[in-house]
């Protein structure tokens, strides 16, 4: 097909991206430097504020812990699902995807019932005499991590299943014949082949956990602000749209940098596999 016609076909998509992605970000950037003699004054002020820095660090910590826990659960689960019979794999995949079909707000309110002082977990632990007083889980960073893990686990599982389905079983069998233990096969054969999928899933989960709003707002409460809820507080509660724009730009930059680094790492690993 002629390149001219290809450009014509791409024009609507390009206009859509420019109007609804690039232009809003440019407007945010302009808002952060509006009325400031020093263009980066608002950003410097953000990092000089110890409270803002704590919120940023807490957001990054929650995102990192979410990625690690999701990966720890999804890795064996995805391997197990991909090695089942076709009909069973379809059913298990449906169960994995089922939480995505439920509204996020409904899921988070369900976690309030589970994690509250009179919730299922505290009642059970009290019933078996493990605790004397209810545990304070709800409205803590732990509750945000639990909700985020539940929210993003299906994404990681499906991503890893795509990589796990391409695993060469014969390589594992050959390693076993040569005397490799299951742990050695896992570390030296399975994990290296799944690394691109692991990095791709980590990118998606990290970016989602960094920018999530509903889960931190409902399960974290007002005492455990993260970057997304800080944006809401600055804009809707305090009416300070300039500070809200600064927080939004910083959040975007951190997310994009992390995704770029992990994507380049994933690309290098893929190149090594092709050259091997």
Per-residue pLDDT of 38-85, as tens digits, reads 567 788 888 999 999 999 999 999 999 999 999 999 999 998 998 888
Q: Contact, 158 vs 97, CB < 8 A?
A: yes
| Ranges of the chain with pLDDT below 70 | 1-2, 34-39, 269-276
Number of domains in the chain: 1
pLDDT at 59: 94
pLDDT for residue 54: 93
Residues in the chain, total? 276
Report how far residue 74's alpha carbon sits from residue 160's, in angstroms, rounded to the nearest whole number. Answer: 8
Instruction: Supply the pTM of this predicted model.
Output: 0.86
Query: 218 in a domain, yes or no?
Result: yes
How far apart are alpha carbons 245 and 198 in whole angstroms? 32
For residue 11, tell me if it sits in a domain.
no
Domain annotation covers residue 128: yes
CATH number at residue 136: 1.10.3720.10
In a domain? residue 7:
no
Structural domain contains residue 42: no
In a domain, 223, yes or no: yes
Confirm whether 19 is domain-assigned.
no
| In a domain? residue 43 | no
What percent of the chain has a predicted confidence (pLDDT) above 90?
28
Q: What is the pLDDT of residue 145?
A: 95
Structural domain boundaries enclosing 110: 55-275
Q: Is the separation of the CB atoms in 154 and 96 below 8 Å?
A: yes
Element (H, E) at 80: helix 50-82
């Amino acid at each position: 097909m002629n390149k001219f016609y290809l450009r014509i076909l791409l024009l609507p998509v390009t206009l859509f991206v420019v109007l609804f992605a690039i232009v809003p970000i440019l407007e945010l950037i302009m808002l952060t430097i509006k009325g400031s003699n020093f263009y980066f004054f608002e950003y410097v002020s953000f990092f000089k504020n110890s409270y803002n820095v704590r919120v940023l660090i807490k957001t990054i910590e929650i995102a990192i812990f979410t990625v690690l826990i999701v990966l720890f659960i999804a890795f064996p689960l995805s391997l197990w699902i991909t090695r089942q019979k076709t009909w069973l794999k379809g059913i298990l995949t449906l169960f994995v995807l089922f939480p995505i079909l439920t509204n996020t707000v409904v899921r988070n309110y369900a976690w309030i019932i589970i994690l509250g002082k009179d919730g299922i977990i505290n009642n059970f632990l009290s019933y078996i005499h493990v605790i004397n007083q209810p545990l304070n889980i709800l409205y803590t960073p732990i509750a945000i991590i639990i909700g985020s893990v539940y929210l993003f686990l299906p994404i990681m599982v499906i991503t890893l299943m795509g990589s796990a389905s391409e695993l060469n079983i014969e390589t594992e069998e050959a390693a076993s014949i040569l005397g490799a233990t299951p742990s050695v096969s896992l570390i030296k054969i399975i994990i290296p082949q799944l690394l691109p999928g692991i990095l791709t899933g980590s990118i998606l989960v990290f970016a989602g956990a960094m920018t999530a709003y509903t889960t931190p707002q409902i399960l974290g409460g007002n005492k455990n602000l993260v970057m997304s809820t800080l944006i809401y507080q600055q804009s809707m509660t305090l009416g300070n749209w300039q500070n809200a724009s600064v927080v939004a730009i910083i959040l975007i930059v951190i997310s994009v940098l992390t995704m770029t680094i992990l994507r380049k790492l994933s690309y290098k690993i893929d190149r090594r596999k092709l050259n091997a």
